[in-house]
Structure 1
Amino acid sequence: MPRRTATLLASTLTLIALLCIALLAPAPYSEMSPGPTVNTLGDYEGDTVIQITGHKTYPAAGNLNMTTVRVTGADYSMNLVESLLGWARRSDKVVEHDTLYPQGQTAEEADQQNAEEFTESQDSAKVAALEELKIPVPSRVIVAAVVKGGAAEGLLHAGDVIKDVDGTAITKPEQVAGLVTKHKAGEKVVFTIVPAADAKKKSTTTRQVSVTTRTSHDDGPARAVVGIQAGVEHLFPFTIDIKLADVGGPSAGMMFALGIIDKLTPGDLTGGKFVAGTGTIADDGTVGPIGGISLKTIGARNKGAKYFLTPADNCEEAAKDIPSGLTLVKVKTLDDALAALKDIKAGDDSALPSCSKS
């Protein structure tokens, strides 16, 4: 083989090898795609999604589907070929890895965060639904978490009910930090609590616990701390269980609240129609924005949804690419969602608040 031909062949093979390495090398991206959409009024993988005991329930027809986004795992590295294919698909979205898993978050940390957000979302959905139905939901302030190595470790425990701090009655979690920071580091704070084990037995017997404050070491100003996080525990008058395996995050809150209301009231909120949606829910019924809205509308329409309840703050993004045959309905609160369902049930689509691009 002539030297010139051999050189050209070697160069070509080297170029091909370099291209293959570049295309198959890990890229700093993750992929999002439409995930499962589940009817909150029905069953999923053998379990009734919303199970209510201790209160009268009613059969509910139609669909109130929560929607999800499927994402590549924190430990999965896409290569350039996969990234290019993902960018080319309308139904998928390729984003920087750090967008989904910030600061090197591990798969275990991501799963834990999603599980915690999902639990909090269920709790808020129950509160919002029952408050909407004028069913009182008492609450109490508890020790939500104890910082490992903190001043309160071994003295206070997660689940302890905080009755007062230094003699001041506690009705809101934020009061706790305010009263602790009135002290100087090294001073004692006296907590009156019902221990978690006793609280579970519905005991009201209290005891006092003294904790010596320390100086904070976070990014904020130096202050006295005891190393606990206060939270709220709701005391539901009956049992509401939400059974949905392999789902995390807070975005199904609104749809769970609507499903609970539908099961606790006669008739059907949807009139038998297929409604899907998404959105976080606060205890007061405020609906918040979520991520991956365009993928959720695709997943909902593919499943058969005709209407999609859309958080107001997601409307502009969702309206840029509406799947054919799907009506986006703008909602800011649980009351908005219920009003929209009333119009959908009546067939009055012209009354529905719609999403627009601007």
Structure 2
Amino acid sequence: MPRRTATLLASTLLLIALLCAGVLIKVPYAEMSPGPTVNTLGKHDGEPVLNIKDEPGKKNEPKQYGTSGHLNMTTVRVTGSEYRMNLVEALSGWLRGERAIVPHATLYPDDKSAEEVDQENAEEFTASQESAKVAALKELHKPVGSHVIVGAVTKGKPAQGKLRPGDVITAVDGKPVGRPESVGQVVTQRKPGEDVTFTVVPVKKAKAAQKKGKEPTELDGRKVTVRTTEDEQDGRAVVGIQPALGHTFPFEIDIKLADVGGPSAGLMFALGIVDKLTPQKLTGGQFVAGTGTIDDDGKVGEIGGIQMKTVAAREKGARYFLTPAGNCPSAAKNKPDGLTLVKTSTMHEAMTSLKKIREGHPEQLTECKPAKG
């Protein structure tokens, strides 16, 4: 056999062997890619994403207006917790700019089960919906009530089975609580092993009152005694709950979007709510997408997977993308052609940018710029 033929054959066999090894070798990485993008002003799976309503027959039914254009929230698709990527897939993903290969533990920490990760994502999504409602109504100068709730109950701690997420806490050891941090301040005055008494309005009863636009009060509550235990880190008395701030709205705002987790849709939900409750069509018929967490005061926070989200938005037809200020340098580094990245730090800033878009002044927008150097 000629030397050149033998060399070519050996090289081909080596390449085949390497490819086979690459398919068989599993690597500790996961893939993030562009996910679905949904118009918060429209429907998803036949149901309105935003459904604003009041109790039948009430005189203060919120007036709603027609909308136009798009205010799309964006998502990132990730490989499942049980999926183990092979070396060829990882190398392919690294070479494709619209995808990201990240350590598996980034998405699924070793100290948490897949169920725990899913639960955290669901809780973050629920919390983002609440903050979106608050931020939107504050932007519209509508009243929002607040109260302390059980945000989460730690598995295996004394509060499990006695307190439930969503229960409204009106007092601890007879002392009224107005802020989430007040709960811990009272509990830690006890010694580990001592009882602490919570006055709570059960979650079902609290929701029934809130649907009527009423604040749950101590008169609706019941007393629940929980024995404290010692915190593993600092030895303080704890019961195993995470207090949070809940709200009562002047009317019901229902956000329906299945199979989505995390807090990154907050900004777009808030803008969608405002659009439905104001006569001015926010986008002026333009296709606007975006992302970003939002807090009760309308501050927009950065998110993960920004490059996948801009790709998804542009592929769907978006011309403008509301981008959290903290994500701007990364987003601008690989900006899809034809997409204007609008720097956004607050709800009010987003409203101002939308005004410039609908009035035909895109040159006045504050665009994202790549990091210097």
In the superposition, the TM-score normalised over structure 2's length comes to 0.87
Q: Mark the runs of 5 or more structure 2 residues left unpaired by the alignment.
A: 2-8, 55-61, 210-215
Residues in 1 aligned to 2:366 and 2:188: alpha-carbon distance in whole angstroms: 47
Deviations 1:144-165 (A, max 9, x none): 3334443334544444322222
Q: How does 1:301-320 map to 2 (within 5 A)?
A: 301-320=314-333
Deviation of 1:125 after TM superposition, in Å, equals 0.7
- Which of the numbers 104, 127, 151 marks the counterpart of 1:97? 104
Q: Which moved more, 1:177-186 or 1:58-67?
A: 177-186
**Residue 297 (structure 1) aligned with residue 310 (structure 2):** yes
Q: How does 1:100-249 map to 2 (within 5 A)?
A: 100-103=107-110, 105-202=112-209, 204-217=219-232, 220-249=233-262
Deviation of 1:298 after TM superposition, in Å, equals 1.0
Q: Which amino acid aligns with 1:174?
A: E
CA RMSD of aligned residues (A): 2.5
Residues in 1 aligned to 2:230 and 2:112: alpha-carbon distance in whole angstroms: 28
Residues in 2 aligned to 1:129 and 1:238: alpha-carbon distance in whole angstroms: 13
On the 8 A contact 1:98/1:104 being kept in 2, the answer is: no
Corresponding residue number in structure 2 for 1:346: 359
Deviations 1:195-227 (A, max 9, x none): 44543454733343443322222xx31111122
Runs of 4+ off more than 4 Å: 9-19
Deviation of 1:142 after TM superposition, in Å, equals 2.1
On the 8 A contact 1:74/1:105 being kept in 2, the answer is: no
Q: Which moved more, 1:88-97 or 1:333-342?
A: 88-97
Deviation of 1:37 after TM superposition, in Å, equals 1.2
**Between the two proteins, what is the percent identity of the paired residues?**
60
Q: Mark the runs of 5 or more structure 1 residues left unpaired by the alignment.
A: 2-8
Q: Alignment partner of 1:20: what SS?
A: helix
Corresponding residue number in structure 1 for 2:40: 40
Deviation of 1:109 after TM superposition, in Å, equals 2.9
- Which of the numbers 56, 65, 71 marks the counterpart of 2:63? 56
Q: Which moved more, 1:199-208 or 1:58-67?
A: 199-208
In structure 2, relative to structure 1, the CA distance for the partners of 1:246 and 1:212 (3 Å cut) is closer
Q: Which moved more, 1:74-83 or 1:202-211?
A: 202-211
On the 8 A contact 2:131/2:266 being kept in 1, the answer is: yes
In structure 2, relative to structure 1, the CA distance for the partners of 1:15 and 1:47 (3 Å cut) is closer
In structure 2, relative to structure 1, the CA distance for the partners of 1:292 and 1:144 (3 Å cut) is closer
Q: Which moved more, 1:40-49 or 1:338-347?
A: 40-49
In the superposition, the TM-score normalised over structure 1's length comes to 0.90
Deviation of 1:343 after TM superposition, in Å, equals 0.6
On the 8 A contact 2:231/2:237 being kept in 1, the answer is: yes
In structure 2, relative to structure 1, the CA distance for the partners of 1:80 and 1:130 (3 Å cut) is same
Residues in 2 aligned to 1:177 and 1:90: alpha-carbon distance in whole angstroms: 46
On the 8 A contact 2:19/2:88 being kept in 1, the answer is: no
Residues in 2 aligned to 1:16 and 1:346: alpha-carbon distance in whole angstroms: 59
Deviations 1:25-68 (A, max 9, x none): 21211111111111111122212111111222111001111111
Corresponding residue number in structure 2 for 1:283: 296
In structure 2, relative to structure 1, the CA distance for the partners of 1:156 and 1:246 (3 Å cut) is closer
Corresponding residue number in structure 1 for 2:342: 329
On the 8 A contact 2:342/2:367 being kept in 1, the answer is: yes
On the 8 A contact 2:22/2:88 being kept in 1, the answer is: no
Deviation of 1:72 after TM superposition, in Å, equals 0.9
Residues in 2 aligned to 1:23 and 1:147: alpha-carbon distance in whole angstroms: 41
Deviation of 1:183 after TM superposition, in Å, equals 1.8
In structure 2, relative to structure 1, the CA distance for the partners of 1:56 and 1:355 (3 Å cut) is same
Matched pairs, number: 352
In structure 2, relative to structure 1, the CA distance for the partners of 1:196 and 1:267 (3 Å cut) is closer
Residues in 1 aligned to 2:225 and 2:257: alpha-carbon distance in whole angstroms: 41
On the 8 A contact 2:44/2:257 being kept in 1, the answer is: yes
Q: Alignment partner of 1:110: what SS?
A: helix
In structure 2, relative to structure 1, the CA distance for the partners of 1:318 and 1:224 (3 Å cut) is same
Deviations 1:156-198 (A, max 9, x none): 4444322222332100111001111112223332323334454
Residues in 1 aligned to 2:81 and 2:160: alpha-carbon distance in whole angstroms: 32
